[in-house]
Amino acid sequence: MSEQKMIPSFDLSRNHQRVKEEVKVAIDRVLETQGFILGPEVDTLEKEIAAYLEVENAVGCASGTDALILAMMSLDLKEGDEVITTPFTFFATASCITRTGAKLVFADVDPETYNMTTESVLEKITPKTKAVIVVHLFGQMCRIEELKEELAKRNIKLIEDCAQAIGAHRMIDGKIYRAGAVGDIGCFSFFPTKNLGCYGDGGMVSIPHDSKRAARIKSLRVHGSGKTYYHDEVGINSRLDAIQAAILRVRLRHLEEWNEERRLVAERYRLLFGEKGLLDVVTPPAEDAGNRHVYHQYVVRVKDRDELQKFLDERGIVTRVYYPLPLHLQDCFSSAGYKKGDFPVSEMLSDEVLALPIFPELLPEEQERVVKEIAAFYAGRK
Ligand SMILES: *Cc1c(COP(=O)(O)O)cnc(C)c1O
Is 3 part of a structural domain of the chain?
no
User: Is-contact 292 262, C-beta < 8 A?
Assistant: no
Report pLDDT digits (tens) over 91-148.
999 999 999 999 999 999 999 999 999 999 999 999 999 999 999 999 999 999 999 9
CA pair distance 178, 5, nearest whole angstrom: 37
Domain boundary among 206, 226, 252: 252
Do 368 and 329 belong together in one domain? yes
CA of 163 to the centre of ligand 1 (A): 5
131 Cβ below 6 A of ligand 1: no
Q: Over 60: is that where the pLDDT of 53 sits?
A: yes
Report pLDDT digits (tens) over 328-357.
999 999 999 999 999 999 999 999 999 999
Domain boundary among 252, 272, 292: 252
90 Cβ below 6 A of ligand 1: yes
235 Cβ below 6 A of ligand 1: no
User: Is-contact 350 323, C-beta < 8 A?
Assistant: yes
195 Cβ below 6 A of ligand 1: no
Ligand 1, atom nearest to 92 Cα: 10
CA pair distance 364, 372, nearest whole angstrom: 12
Total domains in the chain come to: 2
Average pLDDT rounded to a whole number, residues 315-326:
97
Do 32 and 178 belong together in one domain? yes
CA pair distance 299, 203, nearest whole angstrom: 24
CA pair distance 142, 229, nearest whole angstrom: 42
Is 2 part of a structural domain of the chain?
no
Residue 227 CB neighbour total at 10 angstroms: 8
CA of 90 to the centre of ligand 1 (A): 6
CA pair distance 328, 88, nearest whole angstrom: 9
User: Is-contact 290 356, C-beta < 8 A?
Assistant: no
Do 209 and 345 belong together in one domain? no
CATH code of residue 97: 3.40.640.10
CA of 308 to the centre of ligand 1 (A): 27
**Residue 39: exposure state from Cβ atoms within 10 A (0-12, 13-18, ≥19):** middle
Is 6 part of a structural domain of the chain?
no
Do 33 and 160 belong together in one domain? yes
> Could you list the residue range(s) of the whole structural domain that residue 156 is in?
13-252
186 Cβ below 6 A of ligand 1: no
Ligand 1, atom nearest to 189 Cα: 7
Domain boundary among 199, 230, 252: 252
CA of 165 to the centre of ligand 1 (A): 11
CATH code of residue 327: 3.90.1150.10
Is 7 part of a structural domain of the chain?
no
Report pLDDT digits (tens) over 239-251.
999 999 999 999 9
Do 248 and 260 belong together in one domain? no
pTM reported for the whole predicted model: 0.97
Is 306 part of a structural domain of the chain?
yes
Ligand 1, atom nearest to 203 Cα: 7
Do 153 and 118 belong together in one domain? yes
Do 113 and 236 belong together in one domain? yes
Do 107 and 171 belong together in one domain? yes
- Closest protein CA for atom 14 of ligand 1: 163
Is residue 296 classed as helix, strand or coil in its secondary structure? coil
244 Cβ below 6 A of ligand 1: no
- Percent of the chain surpassing pLDDT 90: 96
129 Cβ below 6 A of ligand 1: no
Q: What is the pLDDT of residue 3?
A: 61
Do 207 and 319 belong together in one domain? no
Read off the pLDDT band of 382 (50, 70, 90): low
Residue 185 CB neighbour total at 10 angstroms: 28
Do 216 and 311 belong together in one domain? no
Do 260 and 353 belong together in one domain? yes
Is 237 part of a structural domain of the chain?
yes
Report pLDDT digits (tens) over 153-206.
999 999 999 999 999 999 999 999 999 999 999 999 999 999 999 999 999 999
* Continuous H helices in 221-343: 242-252, 255-275, 305-314
- Closest protein CA for atom 1 of ligand 1: 163
Is 20 part of a structural domain of the chain?
yes
Q: What is the DSSP string of 70-138?
A: HHHHTTT--TT-EEEE-SSS-THHHHHHHHTTPEEEE--B-TTT-SBPHHHHHHH--TTEEEEEEE-GG
Do 122 and 67 belong together in one domain? yes
Report pLDDT digits (tens) over 194-233.
999 999 999 999 999 999 999 999 999 999 998 888 899 9
How many Å separate Cα 254 from the centre of its chain? Answer: 18
Angle between helices 255-275 and 364-379 (to 10 degrees): 30
